[in-house]
């Protein structure tokens, strides 16, 4: 990918009320994790989904630029049910991987 790169990230789940760690099996109806990367100042977005149990992954190719990144738990209908606070990330050109670190998703 000459004009873009990838986000690498890991996720963990916590109980929103107690901050206790959770595993994916604790989340009733959980059907994956979504990372939605929206190019700042536009409506252009890239949505990647992964098995919650993976705990970490790398997105598909994304055009270079500054992004607002939202990571969510999905239900069986593919809808976001619990979402981590939005973070910012920059995709550099020439196939670089931007590490977003560990993202905590609070689960209600």
Predicted confidence (pLDDT) per residue in 27-82, tens digit: 999 999 999 999 999 999 999 999 999 999 999 999 999 999 999 999 999 999 99
CATH of the domain at 18: 2.60.40.10
Band (pLDDT 50/70/90 cuts) for residue 1 is confident
Task: Please tell me the total count of domains within the chain.
Answer: 1
Name the CA dihedral angle for 41, 43, 49, 53, rounded to a multiple of 10 degrees: 40
Question: Residue 63 sits in which domain range?
Answer: 4-107
Provide the pLDDT for residue 2.
84
Q: What is the pTM of this model?
A: 0.94
Radius of gyration over alpha carbons of the chain, in Å? 14
Closest CA to 61 of 94, 85, 32, 89: 94
């Amino acid at each position: 990918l000459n004009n873009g790169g990838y986000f690498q990230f890991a996720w963990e789940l916590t109980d929103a009320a107690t901050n206790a760690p959770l595993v994916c099996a604790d989340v009733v109806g959980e059907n994956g994790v979504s990372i939605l990367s929206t190019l700042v100042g536009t409506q252009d977005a890239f949505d990647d989904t992964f098995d919650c149990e993976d705990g970490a992954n790398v997105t598909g190719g994304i055009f270079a630029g500054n992004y607002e990144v939202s990571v969510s738990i999905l239900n069986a209908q593919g809808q976001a049910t619990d979402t981590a606070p939005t973070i910012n990330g920059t995709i550099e050109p020439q196939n670089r991987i931007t590490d977003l670190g560990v993202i905590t998703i609070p689960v209600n």
